[in-house]
Amino acid sequence: MTAIGIDLGTTNSAVAVHDKQTGGARVLRNGEGQVLTPSVVGVHTTGATGVQTFAVGTPAVNWAFREARDTIFSVKRLMGRDFLDDAVVETNRHMSYDIVPGPGQDPRAHVMLAGQMYSPVQVSTMILEKLAEDAAAHLPEPPTHAVITVPAYFNEAQRVATREAGEKAGLVVKRIIDEPTAAAVAFGVDLREGDKRRVLVFDLGGGTFDISILNATRDAAGRNHLQVLDFSGDNWLGGDDFDLLIVKRIIDWVKETADLDPSHDAKFLYKAKYEAEKAKRQLSQTQVVDIIIPAAYRADGVIVDIDLQLTRAEYEVMIAGLVDTTIGLVRAALDRQKLVPDDISDVLLAGGSTLTPKVYESVEALFGRDKVRRNVDPMECVALGAGILAGTQHGIECGDPACATVNDEKVTECVACHRPLFDARAVGDTNLYEVTGQALGIAAVYGMNGDSFVSIIPRGTPYPVTQPLKRTFEATNGRKIVVPVYEGDDPVASRNQEIGRLDYDLPHEIAARAKVDVEFLYDRNRTLFISVIVPGTDLRHYATLRHDAPREGTEQVTVLTPGEDDEADQMRQLLLHVVEAAERFQLRYQPYVDPSQSVKIQKDLEGARRVLSFPDPDECRTMINALRSHLFESGLASQLYLAESTADRATQEDARKIYSLVAIIRGEFQEGRHKVAEDKARLLRGLITQMSQQTEVPEIRDAADFGGLLKILDS
């Protein structure tokens, strides 16, 4: 077995291998002689023959100026993301390649490469294959196992996607580890016996930002112990965002000097992004940089040569808001642990973006310069930590104390006693104690609300979870049980990240108020095992949640159960339902609602809440009609609402057309081109009209029951 550590980065990736003599690790050079491999995949099409050749890393970068639309970079930002995610929509407007919805009803973001659709997992697999192949040249035998790092704030779907990419690349994934934790492992090489340190890792990479707070100790046997106390961050904040601010500056320069808008030209966008990244690096060393791009843009017979100057002072003003966001997240993480900066003994800087003076000076201002450690290269420390773990973790130990057999990471049950290894712990020279960054739970019914989030595994829970964590509910339907699973901390389920759903058809009817136990187990790989049990019966349903399974992109709808059979009670419940639907509509589509219309919606919502206090059937009916009219008569917002509802039930091809057109309309509107957005919306209306003959558009309606959702027990 040969194991490597892989830092699969947004901008660059690196491979490291454990050095047994020093106890540390060393970064391996790739086929081009570099320690960093650009996380870029491209296709070069030979004009004469039409033969397509894939390239990864530097070769892909070298071809990108000619093949900009067929060059994929920053794909890590799309891992586990839905196509209509606001951040994806925003990114799609700036990328030189096309981001599209997945096949069928799969709402996840995919990319187009040489006319073919690829998932972020497939693109990441190509990068991992390149990394493993290049590493083999420096090792006695090709690598078979790997520890792969991910941002600490990656959600479960993103972690599963990363593991899948590693497995598709032919590697046994020993562990998926958080990037800040890997950086702390690299730092831990210098720990001495008896050391007790409280460490904060500030990890600002190309596409993500993470903070981890850890206790680091070293015992008499020479083993390091790293206990994660908390982590936080933003998996859509990084050096790429710094680059895009410079790109915007370049675009504005072209608009001002040539009266042309190059923002939709793929080749220009790639050139601008390339030069922006280079300028960013130079401004870490100098006070001023010249951005020169000959023949950057051609339009209407005009060739635009870019020649502009950017000072460090100007650049720091541009990025100040992003840097302030990182410091605010650090303070929030400290507050959650009831810590102050003086409680931190060491601050580790990880990620290439921490080389930006504005960034590291802000960290030093908060903690003090003497605490900020620079003894490990921030560009390499994550890979080095992964390499140490890859070489010093020797398998996983059976959770049965009477057995305790050490197994290879690729097996799912103990080779000796055949016990499932869901609660197995890694065996090695470094002991890691990690915690969940967000709560895991389900959507359930509370009162009249079917969109309440119930935490089963709370935020900050150490894992693996060796004993099931359980909550008891009531069944609302005797024929089926529906368990939507979410990750997040918001009390409203639909505001969290849905990571799966269990639909359980009961073999025979049970009582509507029967008790139902839901149990969660969480293993070392953050795989979630769910059990749904009806005590006193033989009804038991077990499932391993597939975070990577295609999900239907449907809106969450709060459903109601009529109480007494009097008209006032029924109308009150229906009004509650419509109020909640209108609130969700306003939250999701607020930017597209005319301000005067928004005032009317808010006024009617306030009126509806007053009516709910003393429900009169006629007044309830009046407010129901008023709120429903807003949903379908709010211009562009209503058109987007109806379009996305139609797409949920459309054919694969029709859904793709709708999603693509919706993304264009959103982008044009956000850019201030409202007239263009309205023109595109007319096309969208025609498309919906055509499809509505074949597809039922969902409307707000009263529901007879809770659709199988479980109900929270009355306290």
pLDDT digits (tens, 9 = 90+) for 175-207: 899 999 999 998 876 778 778 899 999 999 988
What's the distance, CA 707 to chain centroid? 29
Burial of 526 (0-12, 13-18, 19+ CB in 10 A): buried
pLDDT at residue number 356: 96
Residues sharing a CB contact under 8 Å with residue 313, sequence separation 6 or more, in sequence order: 287
231-245, 293-307, 417-431, 454-468: least confidently modelled range: 417-431
Residue 113 corresponds to which tokens in the numbers above? 């490469």
Q: Where are the domains of the chain?
A: 3-179, 239-319, 440-557+707-712, 567-692
What kind and span of H or E run contains 321? helix 312-336
pLDDT at residue number 546: 46
Global confidence as pTM:
0.72
pLDDT at residue number 568: 63
Which among 324-338, 419-433, 676-690 has the top mean pLDDT?
Answer: 324-338
**Nearest alpha-carbon partner for 116 in 64, 173, 62, 43:** 43
Distance CA 161, CA 121 (A): 6
pLDDT at residue number 614: 62
135-149, 388-402, 407-421, 611-625: least confidently modelled range: 611-625
Residues sharing a CB contact under 8 Å with residue 713, sequence separation 6 or more, in sequence order: 472, 473, 474
Give the mean model confidence (pLDDT) for residues 128-149.
96
Q: At what angle do helices 674-692 and 652-670 cross, to 10 degrees?
A: 160
pLDDT at residue number 714: 60
Three-state DSSP at 517 gives strand
pLDDT at residue number 548: 39
Task: Assess whether the region 3-179 and the region 239-319 belong to the same CATH fold.
Answer: no
Give the mean model confidence (pLDDT) for residues 339-348.
95
pLDDT at residue number 44: 80
Single-letter amino acid, residue 160: V
| pLDDT at position 355 over 60 | yes
Q: What is the pLDDT of residues 583-615, one digit of tens each?
A: 777 777 778 887 777 878 888 888 887 777 666
Distance CA 234, CA 202 (A): 12
pLDDT at residue number 691: 63
Report phi then psi at 482, rounded to 5.
Answer: -120, 125
Report the top-level CATH class of 3-179.
alpha beta
| pLDDT at position 145 over 90 | yes
Average pLDDT, the chain: 84
Report the top-level CATH class of 239-319.
alpha beta
pLDDT at residue number 677: 81
Q: Which residue has the higher pLDDT, 186 or 556?
A: 186
**Percent of the chain's residues with pLDDT above 90:** 41
Give the mean model confidence (pLDDT) for residues 271-276.
93
pLDDT at residue number 553: 33
pLDDT at residue number 678: 82
What are the C-alpha distances in Å from 292 to residues 264, 273, 298? 20, 13, 15
pLDDT at residue number 655: 73
DSSP string, 148-192: EEE-TT--HHHHHHHHHHHHHTT-EEEEEEEHHHHHHHHHGGG--
Q: What is the pLDDT of residues 465-489, one digit of tens each?
A: 878 899 999 998 888 889 999 998 8
| pLDDT at position 624 over 50 | yes
Q: Which residue has the tokens 């990880």?
A: 350
Bond before 462 cis per omega within 30 degrees: no
pLDDT at residue number 597: 79
* CATH (residue range 440-557+707-712): 2.60.34.10
CB 459 within 8 A of CB 232: no
141-145, 397-401, 477-481, 633-637: least confidently modelled range: 633-637
pLDDT at residue number 715: 45
Give the mean model confidence (pLDDT) for residues 142-167.
89
| pLDDT at position 549 over 80 | no
pLDDT at residue number 204: 95
CB 245 within 8 A of CB 451: no
Give the mean model confidence (pLDDT) for residues 505-528.
83
**Percent of the chain's residues with pLDDT above 70:** 90
Distance CA 210, CA 226 (A): 17
What kind and span of H or E run contains 425? strand 425-428
